[in-house]
C-alpha cells in the first residue's frame, strides 16, 4: 500500500489550522496574564445599593445611656453589627474583624465609627454592653433598648433574630441572628452591606472605594 502525500492545498490548510491553534493559545495565555496583573480592581465584595435607603425613625440608647436614633447616624460613616454579649463565637469574631478594619482606616480624614446593636436587650444592659464592646476597641459603641425600639430598626433592615430555646436543665439561651455588617453614610442612609465571611482587608478596601465614589 502506498501513502498518499498531502497536496499543496492540504498542506496550506494544515499550516493554517496550526497557526489558529497557536494564536488561540497565545490569546488565552495573554488574557490570563492581564487578569493576574490587573485583577477586578473596580469590583466590591460588599453589596452597595444604587440609591442609598432612608432609615425610618427608631429609638434606642447607647452604652452611655444616651439616646441613639436617626440623628445618631448623621454626619459620619457608621459600620453597624447586630449581635449580643452572650454570643459564643460569631460576635466576638466580628468585633475583632471590625477592630482590624478600624486600624486599617486610621489614616482617613473622615469620621468613622463602629456600632454593635444587641438583639438580646433583655440581658444586655448599657453597663454590660459597655464592658463588652470596649474590650475590643475603646471607641466602639454598644446599643440596646426596648424590644419595640429594636424592632423599629431590625424590621426595616431585614435583620433576623430568634431566641433558641435552652436545653432542659439550662437557664441560658442563645440567639440566632443576622451576621452581616451594615454601612450607613453621613446622611444617615443605609448605604451598603458586608456579608459573611467577613474580611477586614476587603471591608477596608471596599470602604475606601465607596468613600471615593461618595465624595
For the chain, the domains span 51-214
Across the chain, mean pLDDT equals 84
Residue given cell 443576622 in the structure block: 178
pLDDT class for 42, splitting at 50, 70, 90?
low
Q: What is the mean pLDDT of residues 144-167?
A: 94
Q: Mean pLDDT across the stretch 94-113?
A: 97
Percentage of residues in the chain having pLDDT higher than 90: 73
pLDDT attached to residue 8: 40
From the list 204, 203, 193, 187, the residue with the least C-alpha distance to 159 is: 193
Edge to edge, what strands does the sheet with 77-83 contain?
47-53, 190-194, 181-184, 77-83, 112-118, 141-144, 59-62, 67-69
* pLDDT greater at residue 74 or residue 20: 74
Q: In terms of CATH, what superfamily is 51-214? A: Glutaredoxin (3.40.30.10)
Q: For 2-27, what is the mean pLDDT?
A: 37
Residue 17: predicted pLDDT? 33
Classified as helix, coil or strand, 118 is strand
Question: Residue 5 — pLDDT band, cuts 50, 70, 90?
Answer: very low
pLDDT value at residue 214: 87
Give yes or no for residue 29 having a pLDDT over 60: no
Q: Whole-model pTM above 0.85?
A: no
- The least confident of 12-21, 53-62, 73-82, 137-146 is 12-21
Average pLDDT over residues 152-169: 91
Q: What is the pLDDT of residue 172?
A: 87
Task: Give 94's contacts (C-beta < 8 A, 6+ positions apart).
Answer: 81, 83, 179, 181, 198
Amino acid at each position: 500500500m502506498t501513502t498518499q502525500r498531502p497536496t499543496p492545498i492540504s498542506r496550506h490548510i494544515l499550516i493554517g489550522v496550526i497557526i489558529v491553534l497557536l494564536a488561540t493559545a497565545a490569546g488565552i495565555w495573554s488574557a490570563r496574564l492581564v487578569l493576574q496583573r490587573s485583577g477586578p480592581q473596580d469590583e466590591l465584595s460588599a453589596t452597595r445599593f444604587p440609591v442609598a435607603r432612608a432609615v425610618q425613625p427608631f429609638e434606642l440608647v447607647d452604652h452611655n445611656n444616651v439616646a441613639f436614633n436617626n440623628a445618631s447616624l448623621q454626619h459620619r460613616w457608621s459600620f453597624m453589627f447586630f449581635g449580643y454579649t452572650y454570643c459564643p463565637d460569631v460576635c466576638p469574631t466580628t468585633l475583632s474583624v471590625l477592630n482590624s478594619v478600624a486600624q486599617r482606616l486610621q489614616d482617613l480624614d473622615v469620621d468613622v465609627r463602629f456600632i454593635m446593636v444587641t438583639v438580646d436587650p433583655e440581658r444586655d444592659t448599657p453597663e454590660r454592653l459597655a464592658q463588652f464592646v470596649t474590650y475590643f476597641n475603646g471607641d466602639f459603641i454598644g446599643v440596646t433598648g426596648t424590644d419595640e425600639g429594636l424592632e423599629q430598626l431590625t424590621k426595616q433592615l431585614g435583620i433576623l433574630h430568634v431566641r433558641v430555646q435552652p436545653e432542659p436543665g439550662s437557664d441560658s439561651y442563645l440567639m440566632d441572628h443576622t451576621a452581616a455588617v451594615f454601612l450607613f453614610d453621613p446622611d444617615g442612609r443605609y448605604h451598603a452591606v458586608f456579608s459573611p465571611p467577613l474580611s477586614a482587608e476587603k471591608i477596608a478596601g471596599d470602604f475606601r472605594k465607596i468613600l471615593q465614589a461618595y465624595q
